[in-house]
């Protein structure tokens, strides 16, 4: 069954697209003010602007394009959305924000203690993975998918914790719990291991565990997240996501777990390789003692007889 029956608003989310454009416009307006010396801070670099625009483009693709609608029909597409949103968009967005914005933000009286607590490496890596795992408990997942407000809040909170998780690795601000060398490698391994149980539950289940992807009534209720109510009321006869999905519910579910784990392993593998080579390069650099030339005998101070 073609997705066009859900309508233009559900397929392309023009209001969300307008919001993305507004954010991008504000970003470059701020950059222009910095260049014109209306603000004393440095404007974003070309690399930062590239990271930011890429993050915004991916954010619209994930949450505003037909991919979002398909993510409410197929669990595997939903997991692809999550993996891109939390493992790719979050670090790109962090890399695109100028340092001075972080400095001003984390110095706010209310933000400072909360930020410093949740960006501690142990808290950061465990916080995101625990919230992600709780989300994929079937009872929690199905409840979040049918309550729009709860779905929005959980998505935003999980994205914030994803940024906390990436903070020790990207280190946007010097001195904020930096990870170097083997600690960064251990952090990546810990994050990969903490996500494994949730993916394992999804991959090795013997039956579909999420009613919002297998039960017709629950699925139609969850479709209110992306389809206008007046449009959805005319689609009551399509009472099952199986009409639109090329995969059986169980295989779709298992594929979703595999996709999440594969994207995570790919992203973490790139970060791991970078951390390893940076650490190896630093270890090969001569120490300060080795680079300091020894004083020759004639330049040494004479000993008192």
- Digit-coded pLDDT (tens) for 164-200: 999 999 888 876 666 777 888 899 999 999 999 989 9
Could you give the residue ranges of the DSSP H alpha helices within the chain? 8-12, 14-35, 46-63, 66-71, 75-84, 90-96, 99-106, 111-118, 121-135, 138-146, 148-170, 182-203, 216-222, 229-232, 249-284, 288-291
- The answer for residues whose C-beta is within 8 angstroms of residue 186's C-beta and 6 or more apart is none
Q: Which of 77-81, 239-243, 296-300 has the lowest mean pLDDT?
A: 296-300
Of the two residues 248 and 2, the one the predictor is more confident about is: 248
Average pLDDT, the chain: 88
Give the pLDDT mean for 272-279: 80
Model confidence over 112-121: pLDDT tens digits? 899 989 999 9
Query: What phi-psi label fits residue 171: left (phi over 0), alpha (psi between -120 and 50 degrees) or beta?
Result: left
Query: How many residues comprise the chain?
Result: 305
Indicate if the pLDDT at residue 202 is higher than 90.
yes
**For 294, which DSSP code?**
P
Model confidence over 20-68: pLDDT tens digits? 999 999 999 999 999 887 778 889 999 999 999 999 999 999 999 999 9
Show the CA angle centred on residue 241, arms to residues 240 and 242, nearest 5°. 90
Model confidence over 150-165: pLDDT tens digits? 999 999 999 999 999 9
Task: Report the C-alpha dihedral over residues 89, 93, 95, 98, rounded to 10 degrees.
Answer: 180
């Amino acid at each position: 069954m073609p997705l066009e029956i859900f309508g233009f608003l559900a397929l392309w989310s023009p209001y969300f697209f307008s919001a993305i454009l507004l954010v991008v416009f504000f970003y470059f307006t701020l950059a222009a003010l910095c260049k014109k010396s209306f603000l004393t801070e440095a404007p974003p670099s070309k690399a930062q602007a590239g990271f930011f625009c890429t993050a915004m483009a991916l954010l619209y693709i994930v949450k505003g394009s037909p991919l979002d609608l398909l993510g409410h029909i197929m669990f595997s597409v939903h997991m692809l959305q999550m993996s891109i949103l939390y493992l790719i968009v979050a670090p790109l967005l962090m890399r695109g924000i100028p340092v001075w914005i972080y400095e001003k933000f984390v110095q706010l009286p209310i933000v400072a203690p909360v930020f410093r607590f949740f960006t501690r490496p142990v808290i950061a890596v465990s916080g995101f993975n625990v919230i992600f795992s709780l989300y994929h408990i079937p009872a929690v997942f199905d409840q979040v998918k049918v309550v729009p407000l709860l779905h929005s809040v959980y998505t935003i909170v999980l994205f914030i914790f994803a940024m906390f998780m990436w903070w020790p690795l990207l280190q946007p601000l010097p001195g904020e719990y930096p990870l170097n060398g083997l600690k960064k490698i251990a952090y990546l391994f810990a994050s990969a291991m903490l996500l494994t149980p949730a993916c394992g539950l999804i991959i090795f289940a013997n039956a579909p565990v999420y009613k919002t992807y297998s039960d017709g009534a629950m699925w139609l209720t969850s479709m209110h997240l992306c389809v206008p109510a007046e449009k959805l009321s005319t689609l009551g006869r399509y009472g099952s996501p199986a009409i639109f999905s090329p995969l059986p519910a169980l295989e779709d579910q298992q594929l979703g777990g595999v996709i999440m784990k594969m994207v995570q392993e790919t992203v973490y593998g790139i970060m791991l390789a970078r951390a390893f080579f940076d650490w190896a390069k630093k270890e090969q650099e001569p120490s300060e003692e080795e680079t300091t030339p020894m004083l020759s005998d004639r330049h040494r101070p004479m000993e008192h007889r």
